[in-house]
Structure 1
Amino acid sequence: MPAELVVHVARLGERRIPFLHREHADEVVARWGEDWPDHTAEVEEWDRWRWEYEGLGGASAIREHVPERAVVFHARALFLPGGEHTASGGPEQWSMPTWDFETDRYTDRASAWRTSRRSGSGQEVEAQVRGTDKAAVETAFAEACAQAADRARNPGKYGDTDDW
């Protein structure tokens, strides 16, 4: 099959990322395999027609370059109504290598944070931070926790009273 009719698909766990060039798919698969040794990481060859009709994103999803990869630092805390910090059942801070196609985890910002009120009877407020700069994430985490504690104590101030 002519090279321009082949799509090199990196199968990474359940995700499939298509590449124009085999070496790009091989590089991503090798690095993914190092990061996640217990997950599937292999290259599949698809004909272009099959990818355009069966692959997610069609022809526009085929990459000509290796995707961006970064170590993203995460922090998360949970606050009860009244502002008391509580254990969330997982680590409060962690980091992980993340690729730009993992949009739920990837960022290229030094830090970004948000607080949100969880739905349900508990009405806990969660602080979440992620970013590529560990010090910036730690600083943002302190700010996010302060706002989350205040939001847990003062739901009306943040427009959360409709949920009660």
Structure 2
Amino acid sequence: MVHVARLGERRVPFVQRAHAAEVVAQWSEDWPDRTAEVEEWDRGRWERKGPGGVRVAVRDQMPERTVVFHARALFVPGGERATTGLPDRWSVPAWDFETDAYTSRPSVWRTVRLPGAGQEVEANARGTDQEAVEAAFAEACAQAVGRAQNPGKYGDTDEW
């Protein structure tokens, strides 16, 4: 048997039911408005119909979970910070199978010019160490201002 933690649309397979149940319980506590339950699949069904099939390893231990701190800001051409109406800092719990949200690094940051007529530059930072994320966010914002003021310096002129 494969014990599958169904977390919304995501399915995470486990060898032991206790691991799947623990992940479901924690997920339900973190996200009470989202579906979470344990399903039992035979291994053949998982390999044929599971997302990723045999490429997705059935876990034999508990996944890593951490709190990931995030920071985000938008800058318009000229370098002024745009008001988005969204929080610029937040934190969320994330599991290692949530590759879009999880990181084990203290901090990482990036800037990107967004497509569209507004040509805003977005600054992002995230990581497991709140102070490191704050420092990384300051660096990202400084680069985003530079990108917004001098798009040619960052190779953004082709998009203008």
Shorter-chain TM-score: which interval? over 0.9
Aligned Cα root-mean-square deviation (Å): 0.8
* Structure 1 equivalent of residue 111 of structure 2: 115
* Structure 2 equivalent of residue 92 of structure 1: 88
Tell me, yes or no, if structure 1 residue 143 matches structure 2 residue 117. no
* Structure 2 equivalent of residue 25 of structure 1: 20
Q: Which amino acid aligns with 2:134?
A: E
The TM-score normalised by the length of structure 2 is 0.97
* Structure 2 equivalent of residue 159 of structure 1: 155
1:56 deviates by: 1.3
* Structure 2 equivalent of residue 66 of structure 1: 62
Tell me, yes or no, if structure 1 residue 11 matches structure 2 residue 32. no
* Structure 1 equivalent of residue 76 of structure 2: 80
Q: Which amino acid aligns with 2:40?
A: E
The TM-score normalised by the length of structure 1 is 0.95
- Rounded Cα–Cα distance in structure 1 between residues aligned with 2:54 and 2:22: 21
Secondary structure in 2 matching 1:98: strand
Tell me, yes or no, if structure 1 residue 124 matches structure 2 residue 120. yes
1:102 deviates by: 0.9
* Structure 1 equivalent of residue 50 of structure 2: 55
1:60 deviates by: 4.1
- Listed as ranges, the gaps of 5+ residues in structure 1 are 1-5
- Rounded Cα–Cα distance in structure 1 between residues aligned with 2:52 and 2:17: 19
Secondary structure in 2 matching 1:142: helix
